[in-house]
């Protein structure tokens, strides 16, 4: 299965490890007179289809409030979906009970953003990493302690640190502890929710490299959730872009980053500040095509009708308000490149390759 | 050459804590000219925010020991009286902070928070301050400024709050604006809006800007000059082009190779800096970066460990490292 | 705001009825006979039966409760025993008077006591706390924290008794504490209650000093306070306009919670100084098995706490626009 890590084409034939169909999570908004009643719903995740194949990384990007973290929590079954289905390894686990989930819990693990608050400060590092084994009653050959020391070594920490407490470690080291805990049960899928965004640049690269090495060596699949488009591109084979609870575009990374068809994807990419030193760019408009979206993301309590991006989209027409664009393969898209847009961006040709933004060439 | 608008010389900031003396900034020097932007880049604990709070005189004098020179338009700020500093802040030097939600008072309207700066420094009437607040909100691109002026910060979105912060900072037409990670808490599309806004406003007003950030991309897009800081010291200084195109310090190399880039080929591996930043209570002797540096053998391990390298040359593109220029060129290649 | 008040008032009414019911039914779990009390010491069986009938004690328990409840609005006739006009909270056969009159008679004492004490501890506690916070780590701060620690352990009955002995009886520095209506002579009202106010407020002052200090220290470290300083606001205005605002929010919240404790403190204070307030009344009602009075005092206390909590919540909305506008 490790070979599937390099592309989605090979994984297509096999059954996906994780399959989300029409997945939905609405949070109730309460209010009212005398008695509390539901007055609205936050459409955090509003009907999304995604697949993750064994050993591959699917990147999930989007701005705050787009529902990417909620999606991660749904997959890890930390939240109960309000609609749609989650299939894992061919089994429907959408509403699986605690007992039914037990064998799966160890296979799906989560890494969180904040390495400070996601580790219990009163437990030793050894205790934190042993925890999942104890809860799930797993006895690795050679004993739990040995396995913990082994895991510490795998994530690049000193096994001697077994009896230390989280506060004795730096941010990057704490994130390594979080990774070791996730690895304790030999997971097949890791949901990584902004695993490096709280870390300094130099440390961020260390953790990204660690996760990549783990994926190569252990064949773990990742659902990699982040807002940093460059990190996602670096880490993921396929990338999905979310906006207000919907997937607006999904494709393998080359296709998505070089030929974005959804205006939102395009705007996101053009907004990333790039380390291309050009004094001209500092004073006047640089050579890169720049798209500046106006305003902010609308409220997920009352999302716009039709296409949700239309309120900020420069191409929006009447059709966009009345009809929700389906997520489909557009003409000119590669296999597996799906876009939900009525008026997609036309890719320009740049040399042999189709490139939208000259600066990306 | 005239004297620079802001000139910092040999700035040292120590904090006395229970764990010992934290050497947050150690012998830092830099200049900022009017109408230009200096980007100060560094990771957490590099001293970039501490430096700028020192410029504004915002450190608690009981815990922070500050020495050196900070000259703003020829006036020495270290040791200046409290009332001098209070008159300066918000007027001649203004600051915007990272998190606009916590940096704005939840108890006062946006208009009042902007207007009171104007009132404080110009003695304008309440009505005139309000008009000025509306004018500023219009300038930073808040829709319906006449209505939104009476809103509270929690009624604004993240991007609008940062716009309001900028309006507040610029209300007295400051000569120097210090922006401390102004877009770190914002989404990427909003970040682009805010950076554009700052650039446009600088063109209109000729304000000098110090842009503090950990993101070299932000620096590339906004700054003219760059100062790279590590463990409270400057390790490299130069124009944006010089530092990003021909970086000279091993730490700057590390920063650049740690970042994945959209413009680079997909499979370029990230080359992080090994190890972790030092504790500021126990800064390594000699070059503070030497324990994490891969080139100490080449530069002379004894020298790196014992003697602190100074930023050289004194003007233009300089760095604090014992490697020779030829060695650096060889390594970069 | 109106919606908020209506909702809270309705909620308060429901809460009061529930409290009344619980008090009522709990009372009947106690072995005592109100009819015998009503009838007097020497009471022939037929008179006792008559009294029992007049009091409605021969009715089922639930019917008695509804009769009591309707009495509040319609008044009640106790046959030969007396008449109690609306609002009738019952008729005390211990005091031989409608309960409402007794309550009305005693209420001003307790209100004067609690409001005065609250004013004392809010002003002194908050002020000391602010001074301590602004002088963090300096001698003034240390003095404040040590004295608040001492104050915190000074119980009312202990300090009260000592103060009475040394200041009033032995050295005659102060007059004996007494209640004189405010409307007749405000000065006498204040001087008569000064000692009880101080004694009742000691523990609260200590508590508010500590709480204000810690909240203020926290507020002074807030980002928006730093922004205010970065804007060039003067030191005093930073403290008064920005840091204090956030501190008040906490003070108001804690004050809402503390009302119950304040009423409890008032009962002890009244007993210590022999003031004829609601606290004394309720203690006597317990010892005399005087159900109507007991019910009334419990209800008044509960009602006061509920009303003040609504006031505090409204005040909270006034202070914090995030509450008001959400």
Chain B interface, best mutation among A68, A196, A277, by max B CB count within 10 A: A277
Average pLDDT over residues A20-36: 79
**A281–chain B nearest CA distance, Å:** 6
Share of residues in chain B with pLDDT > 70 (%): 99
For residue A299, tell me if it sits in a domain.
yes
Average pLDDT over residues C113-142: 92
Contact A33 C11 (CB under 8 A): no
Rounded to whole angstroms, the Cα distance separating B146 from B160 reads 15
What is the total count of domains within chain A?
Answer: 1
- CB nearest to C320's CB, from B58, B88, B106: B106
Query: Which among C46-55, C174-183, C246-255 has the top mean pLDDT?
Result: C246-255
- CB nearest to B90's CB, from C232, C321, C322: C232
In sequence order, what are the residues at sequence separation of 6 or more whose Cβ sits closer than 8 angstroms to the Cβ of residue C164?
A: C177, C195, C272, C273
Chain B CB contacts of C229 under 8 Å are 58, 89
Alpha-carbon dihedral angle through residues A76, A79, A84, A89, given to the nearest 10 degrees: 20
Count other Cβ atoms within 10 Å, centred on residue A205: 26
CATH code, A263:
3.40.50.300
Count other Cβ atoms within 10 Å, centred on residue B249: 26
Task: Quote the pLDDT of residue A169.
Answer: 86
Give yes or no for residue A32 having a pLDDT over 70. no
Coil, strand, or helix at residue C84? strand
Minimal-distance CA residue of chain A relative to C11: A34
Minimal-distance CA residue of chain B relative to C135: B62
CB distance A181 to A132 below 8 Å? yes
Measured between alpha carbons, how far is residue A74 from residues A18, A56, A108, B171, B327 in Å?
12, 19, 11, 46, 53
Contact B86 C228 (CB under 8 A): no
For residue C176, name the pLDDT band (cuts at 50, 70, 90).
confident
Task: Quote the pLDDT of residue B322.
Answer: 93
For residue A242, tell me if it sits in a domain.
yes
What is the tens place of the pLDDT at every residue in B63-76? 899 999 999 999 99
Average pLDDT over residues B2-24: 90
**A114–chain B nearest CA distance, Å:** 15
Q: What is the CA radius of gyration of chain A?
A: 22
Measured between alpha carbons, how far is residue A358 from residues A119, A361, B107 in Å?
44, 5, 47
Average pLDDT over residues C138-143: 91
**A95–chain B nearest CA distance, Å:** 33
Compute the mean pLDDT over every residue in chain B, rounded to the nearest whole number. 92
B61 Cβ under 8 Å from any chain C Cβ: no
Give yes or no for residue B39 having a pLDDT over 60. yes
Q: The dihedral of CA A130, A133, A137, A140: what is its sign? A: negative
B262 Cβ under 8 Å from any chain A Cβ: yes
C196 Cβ under 8 Å from any chain B Cβ: no
**A102–chain B nearest CA distance, Å:** 37
Task: Quote the pLDDT of residue A265.
Answer: 93
Contact A208 B195 (CB under 8 A): no
In 3D space, the residue among C151, C153, C176 whose CA is nearest the CA of residue C163 turns out to be C176
Task: Quote the pLDDT of residue B52.
Answer: 93
Contact C137 B90 (CB under 8 A): no
**Domain boundaries, given as residue ranges, for chain B:** 6-92+174-332, 101-173
Give yes or no for residue B273 having a pLDDT over 70. yes
Task: Quote the pLDDT of residue C288.
Answer: 81
Minimal-distance CA residue of chain C relative to A34: C7
Rounded to whole angstroms, the Cα distance separating C308 from B323 reads 73
For residue A149, tell me if it sits in a domain.
no
B117 Cβ under 8 Å from any chain C Cβ: yes
Contact A34 C3 (CB under 8 A): no
Chain A interface, best mutation among C2, C7, C325, C326, by max A CB count within 10 A: C7
Minimal-distance CA residue of chain B relative to C318: B107
Q: Chains with 3 or more CB pairs closer than 8 angstroms to B?
A: A, C
Rounded to whole angstroms, the Cα distance separating B195 from B218 reads 8
Alpha-carbon dihedral angle through residues A178, B262, B197, B151, given to the nearest 10 degrees: -40
Contact A277 B269 (CB under 8 A): no
C80 Cβ under 8 Å from any chain B Cβ: no
Three-state secondary structure of chain A: CHHHHHCHHHHHHCCCCEEEEEEEEEEEEEECCCCCEEEEEEEEEEEEEEEECCCCEEEEECCCCCCHHHHHHHHCCCCCCCEEEEEECCEECCCCCHHHHHHHHCCEEEECCCCCCCCCCCCCHHHHHHHHHHHCCCCCCCCHHHHHHHHHHHCCCCHHHHHCCHHHCCHHHHHHHHHHHHHCCCCCEEEEECCCCCCCHHHHHHHHHHHHHHHHHHCCEEEEEECCHHHHHHHCCEEEEEECCEEEEEEEHHHHHHCCCCHHHHHHHHHCCCCCCCHHHHHCCCCCCCCCCCCCCCCCCCCCCCCCCHHHCCCCCHHHHHCCCCCEECCCCCCCCEECCCCCCCCCEECCEECCCHHHC
Between C296 and C53, name the one with better pLDDT. C296
Give yes or no for residue A273 having a pLDDT over 50. yes
Chain B CB contacts of C224 under 8 Å are 102-106
What is the tens place of the pLDDT at every residue in C256-266? 888 888 988 99
Compute the mean pLDDT over every residue in chain A, rounded to the nearest whole number. 84
CB distance A71 to A45 below 8 Å? yes
| Cα–Cα–Cα angle for C27, C31, C33, rounded to 5 degrees | 85
Give yes or no for residue A9 having a pLDDT over 60. no
In sequence order, what are the residues at sequence separation of 6 or more whose Cβ sits closer than 8 angstroms to the Cβ of residue B296?
A: B290, B304, B305
Chain B interface, best mutation among C137, C223, C231, by max B CB count within 10 A: C231
For residue C31, name the pLDDT band (cuts at 50, 70, 90).
low
Q: Given the DSSP bridges, would you call strands B37-41 and B208-213 parallel, antiparallel or unpaired?
A: parallel
Rounded to whole angstroms, the Cα distance separating A163 from A180 reads 15
Coil, strand, or helix at residue C23? helix
Three-state secondary structure of chain B: CCCCCEEEEEEEEEEEECCEEEEEEEEEEEEECCCCEEEEECCCCCCHHHHHHHHCCCCCCCCEEEEEEEEECCEECCCCCHHHHHHHECCCEEEECCCHHHHCCCCCCHHHHHHHHHHHHHCCCHHHHHHHHHHHHHHCCCCCHHHHCCCCHHHCCHHHHHHHHHHHHHCCCCCEEEEECCCCCCCHHHHHHHHHHHHHHHHHHCCEEEEEECCHHHHHHHCCEEEEEECCEEEEEEEHHHHHHCCCCHHHHHHHHHCCCCCCCCCCCCCCCCCCCCCCCCCCCCCCCHHHCCCHHHHCHHHHHHCCCCCECCCCCEECCCCCHHHHHHHHC
For residue A10, name the pLDDT band (cuts at 50, 70, 90).
very low
Which of B 222-261 lie inside 8 A of A, CB atoms? 222-224, 239-241, 243-245, 254-261
Phi, psi of A335 (to 5 degrees): -55, 130
Share of residues in chain C with pLDDT > 70 (%): 94
Rounded to whole angstroms, the Cα distance separating B292 from B295 reads 9
What is the tens place of the pLDDT at every residue in B225-234? 999 999 999 9
Chain A CB contacts of B263 under 8 Å are 274, 276, 359-360
Rounded to whole angstroms, the Cα distance separating C144 from C147 reads 5
- CB nearest to A253's CB, from B199, B266, B272: B266
What is the tens place of the pLDDT at every residue in C56-102? 777 788 888 888 888 888 888 776 667 777 788 877 877 778 888 88
Chain C CB contacts of A33 under 8 Å are 3, 6-7
Q: Chains with 3 or more CB pairs closer than 8 angstroms to A?
A: B, C
Burial of A250 (0-12, 13-18, 19+ CB in 10 A): buried
Average pLDDT over residues B27-54: 93
Chain B interface, best mutation among C136, C222, C227, C240, by max B CB count within 10 A: C227
Task: Quote the pLDDT of residue C326.
Answer: 60
Share of residues in chain A with pLDDT > 70 (%): 86
For residue C185, name the pLDDT band (cuts at 50, 70, 90).
confident
Chain C interface, best mutation among A29, A30, A31, A33, by max C CB count within 10 A: A33
For residue A278, name the pLDDT band (cuts at 50, 70, 90).
very low
Give yes or no for residue A310 having a pLDDT over 50. yes
**A330–chain B nearest CA distance, Å:** 24
Give yes or no for residue A103 having a pLDDT over 60. yes
Coil, strand, or helix at residue C136? coil
For residue A285, name the pLDDT band (cuts at 50, 70, 90).
very low
For residue A281, name the pLDDT band (cuts at 50, 70, 90).
very low
In 3D space, the residue among A66, A104, A106, A102 whose CA is nearest the CA of residue A86 turns out to be A104
Question: Tokens representing A19?
Answer: 């399959």
Task: Quote the pLDDT of residue B254.
Answer: 93
For residue A262, tell me if it sits in a domain.
yes
Rounded to whole angstroms, the Cα distance separating B48 from B178 reads 11
Task: Quote the pLDDT of residue C80.
Answer: 66
Q: What is the DSSP letter of C77?
A: E
Chain B CB contacts of A227 under 8 Å are 187-188
Task: Quote the pLDDT of residue A31.
Answer: 66
Contact A33 C3 (CB under 8 A): yes
Task: Quote the pLDDT of residue A287.
Answer: 44
A35 Cβ under 8 Å from any chain C Cβ: no
Share of residues in chain C with pLDDT > 90 (%): 23
Coil, strand, or helix at residue C91? strand
Task: Quote the pLDDT of residue C90.
Answer: 79
Give yes or no for residue A223 having a pLDDT over 50. yes
Coil, strand, or helix at residue C223? helix
A125 Cα distance to chain centroid = 27
Contact B89 C137 (CB under 8 A): no
In 3D space, the residue among A184, A197, A192, A176 whose CA is nearest the CA of residue A76 turns out to be A192
Chain C interface, best mutation among B107, B156, B168, B178, by max C CB count within 10 A: B107
Query: Which among A3-7, A97-101, A233-237, B2-6 has the top mean pLDDT?
Result: A233-237
Q: Chains with 3 or more CB pairs closer than 8 angstroms to C?
A: A, B
Average pLDDT over residues A102-106: 84
**C302–chain A nearest CA distance, Å:** 20
Chain A CB contacts of C7 under 8 Å are 33-34
What is the tens place of the pLDDT at every residue in C196-244? 999 999 999 999 999 999 999 999 989 999 999 999 998 888 888 888 8
Rounded to whole angstroms, the Cα distance separating A211 from A213 reads 5
What is the tens place of the pLDDT at every residue in B161-207? 999 999 999 999 999 999 999 998 888 888 988 999 999 999 999 99
For residue A122, tell me if it sits in a domain.
no
Q: How far apart are the first and last CA of chain C?
A: 11
**C142–chain B nearest CA distance, Å:** 17
Out of A331-340, C104-113, C165-174, pick the least confident.
C165-174
Of the CA atoms within 13 Å of residue A252, those in its CB half-sphere come to: 18
A346 Cβ under 8 Å from any chain C Cβ: no
For residue A133, tell me if it sits in a domain.
no
B271 Cβ under 8 Å from any chain A Cβ: yes
Task: Quote the pLDDT of residue C169.
Answer: 83
C38 Cα distance to chain centroid = 30
Task: Quote the pLDDT of residue C231.
Answer: 92
Domain that holds residue A234: 9-29+40-107+187-273+284-360
Look up the CATH superfamily of B6-92+174-332. P-loop containing nucleotide triphosphate hydrolases (3.40.50.300)
B17 Cβ under 8 Å from any chain C Cβ: no
Coil, strand, or helix at residue C289? coil
Question: Tokens representing A296?
Answer: 């902010």
Give yes or no for residue A353 having a pLDDT over 70. no
For residue A5, name the pLDDT band (cuts at 50, 70, 90).
very low
- What b/e string do you get for C250-268 counting C-beta neighbours within 10 Å, with b at 16 or more? bbbeebbebbeebbebbbb
Task: Quote the pLDDT of residue A308.
Answer: 94
Whole-model pTM over 0.90: no
What is the tens place of the pLDDT at every residue in A145-157? 899 998 998 888 8
For residue A288, name the pLDDT band (cuts at 50, 70, 90).
low
Give yes or no for residue B238 having a pLDDT over 50. yes
Beta pairing partners, B177: B94, B209
Out of A120-134, A241-255, A285-299, B2-16, pick the least confident.
A285-299
For residue A134, tell me if it sits in a domain.
no
Compute the mean pLDDT over every residue in chain C, rounded to the nearest whole number. 85
Question: Tokens representing B288?
Answer: 């503070």
Chain C CB contacts of B154 under 8 Å are 321-322, 325-326
For residue A119, tell me if it sits in a domain.
no
Average pLDDT over residues A32-54: 81
Rounded to whole angstroms, the Cα distance separating B138 from B131 reads 11
For residue A355, name the pLDDT band (cuts at 50, 70, 90).
very low
B187 Cβ under 8 Å from any chain A Cβ: yes
């Amino acid at each position: 299965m490790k070979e599937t890590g390099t592309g989605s084409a090979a994984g297509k034939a096999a059954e996906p490890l994780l399959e989300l169909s029409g997945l939905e999570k609405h949070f109730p908004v309460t209010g009212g007179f005398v008695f509390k009643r539901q007055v609205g719903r936050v459409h955090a995740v509003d009907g999304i289809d995604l697949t993750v194949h064994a050993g591959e990384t699917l990147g999930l990007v989007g701005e705050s409030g787009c529902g990417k973290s909620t999606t991660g929590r749904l997959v890890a079954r930390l939240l109960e979906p309000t609609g749609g289905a989650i299939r894992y390894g061919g089994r429907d686990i959408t509403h699986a009970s605690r007992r039914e989930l037990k064998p799966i819990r160890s296979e799906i693990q989560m890494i969180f953003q904040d390495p400070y608050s996601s580790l219990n400060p009163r437990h030793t590092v050894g205790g934190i990493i042993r925890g999942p084994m104890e809860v799930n009653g797993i006895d690795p050959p050679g004993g739990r302690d040995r396995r913990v020391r082994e895991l510490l070594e795998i994530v690049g920490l000193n096994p001697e640190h077994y009896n230390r407490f989280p506060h004795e470690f730096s941010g990057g080291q704490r994130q390594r502890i979080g990774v070791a805990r996730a690895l304790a049960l030999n997971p097949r899928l890791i949901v990584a929710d902004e695993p490096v965004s709280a870390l300094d640049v130099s440390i961020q690269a260390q953790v990204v490299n660690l996760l990549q090495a783990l994926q190569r060596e252990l064949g773990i699949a990742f659902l990699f959730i982040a807002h940093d488009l460059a990190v996602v591109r670096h880490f993921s084979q396929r990338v999905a872009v979310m906006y207000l609870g919907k997937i607006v575009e999904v494709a393998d990374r080359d296709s998505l980053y070089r030929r974005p068809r959804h205006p939102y994807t395009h705007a996101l990419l053009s907004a990333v500040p790039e380390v291309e030193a050009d004094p001209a760019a500092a004073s006047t408009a640089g050579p890169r095509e720049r798209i500046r979206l106006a305003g902010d993301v609308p409220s997920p309590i009352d999302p716009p009708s039709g296409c949700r991006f239309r309120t900020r989209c420069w191409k929006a027409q009447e059709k966009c308000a009345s009809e929700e664009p389906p997520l489909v393969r557009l003409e000119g898209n590669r296999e597996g490149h799906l876009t939900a847009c009525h008026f997609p961006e036309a890719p320009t040709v740049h040399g042999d390759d189709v490139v939208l933004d000259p600066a990306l060439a | 050459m005239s004297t620079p608008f802001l000139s910092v010389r040999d700035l040292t900031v120590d904090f006395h804590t229970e764990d010992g003396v934290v050497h947050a900034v150690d012998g830092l020097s830099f200049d900022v000219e009017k109408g230009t932007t200096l980007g100060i880049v560094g990771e957490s604990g590099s001293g970039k925010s501490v430096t700028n709070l020192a410029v504004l005189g915002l450190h608690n004098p009981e815990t922070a020991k500050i020495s050196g020179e900070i000259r703003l338009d020829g006036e020495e700020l270290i040791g200046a009286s409290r009332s001098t500093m209070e008159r300066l802040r918000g007027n001649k030097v203004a600051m915007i902070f990272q998190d606009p939600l916590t940096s704005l008072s939840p108890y006062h309207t946006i208009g009042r928070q902007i207007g009171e700066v104007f009132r404080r420094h110009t003695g304008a009437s309440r009505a005139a301050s309000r008009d000025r607040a509306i004018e500023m909100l219009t300038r930073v691109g808040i829709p319906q400024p006449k209505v939104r002026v009476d809103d509270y910060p929690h009624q604004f979105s993240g991007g609008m709050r940062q716009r309001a912060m900028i309006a507040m900072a610029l209300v007295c037409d400051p000569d120097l604006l210090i922006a401390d990670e102004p877009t770190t808490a914002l989404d990427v599309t909003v970040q682009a809006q805010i950076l554009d806004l700052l650039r446009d406003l600088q063109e209109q007003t000729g304000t000098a800007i110090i842009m503090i950030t950990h993101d070299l991309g932000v620096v590339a897009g906004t700054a003219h000059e760059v100062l790279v800081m590590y463990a409270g010291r400057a390790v490299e200084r130069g124009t944006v082009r010089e530092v990003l195109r021909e970086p000279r310090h091993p730490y700057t190399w590390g920063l650049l190779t740690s970042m994945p880039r959209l413009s680079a080929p997909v499979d370029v591996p990230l080359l992080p800096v090994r190890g972790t930043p030092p504790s500021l209570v126990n800064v390594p002797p000699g070059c503070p970066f030497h324990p994490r540096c891969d080139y100490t053998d080449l530069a002379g391990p004894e020298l790196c460990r014992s003697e602190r390298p100074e930023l050289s040359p004194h003007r233009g593109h300089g760095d604090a490292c014992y490697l020779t220029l030829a060695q650096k060129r060889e390594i970069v290649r | 705001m109106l919606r908020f008040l209506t909702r809270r008032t309705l909620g308060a009414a429901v809460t009061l009825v529930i409290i009344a019911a619980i008090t009522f039914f709990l009372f009947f779990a106690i072995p005592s006979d109100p009819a015998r009390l009503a009838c007097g010491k020497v009471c022939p069986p037929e008179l006792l039966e008559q009294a029992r009938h007049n009091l409605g004690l021969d009715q089922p328990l639930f019917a008695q409760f509804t009769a009591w409840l309707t009495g509040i609005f319609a008044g009640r006739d106790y046959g030969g025993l007396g008449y109690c006009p609306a609002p009738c909270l019952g008729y005390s056969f211990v005091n031989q008077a409608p309960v409402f009159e007794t309550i009305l008679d005693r209420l001003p004492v307790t209100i004067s006591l609690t409001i005065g004490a609250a004013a004392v501890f809010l002003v002194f506690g908050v002020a000391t706390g602010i001074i301590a916070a602004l002088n963090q780590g300096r001698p003034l701060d240390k003095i404040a924290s040590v004295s608040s620690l001492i104050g915190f352990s000074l119980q009312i009955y202990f300090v009260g008794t000592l103060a009475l002995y040394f200041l009033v009886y032995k050295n005659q520095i102060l007059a004996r504490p007494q209640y004189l209506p405010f409307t007749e002579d405000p000065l006498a009202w204040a001087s008569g209650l000064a000692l009880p106010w101080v004694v009742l407020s000691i523990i609260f002052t200590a508590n508010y000093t500590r709480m204000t200090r810690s909240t203020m220290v926290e507020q002074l470290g807030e980002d928006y306070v730093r922004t205010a300083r970065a804007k060039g606001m003067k030191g005093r205005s930073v403290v008064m306009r920005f840091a204090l605002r956030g501190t008040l929010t906490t003070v108001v919240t804690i004050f809402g919670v503390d009302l119950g404790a304040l009423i409890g403190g008032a009962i002890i204070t009244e007993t210590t100084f022999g003031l004829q307030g609601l606290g004394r009344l309720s203690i006597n009602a317990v010892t005399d098995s005087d159900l109507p009075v007991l019910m009334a005092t419990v209800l008044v206390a509960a009602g006061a706490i509920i009303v003040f909590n609504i006031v505090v919540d409204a005040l909270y909305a006034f202070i914090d626009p995030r509450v008001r506008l959400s």
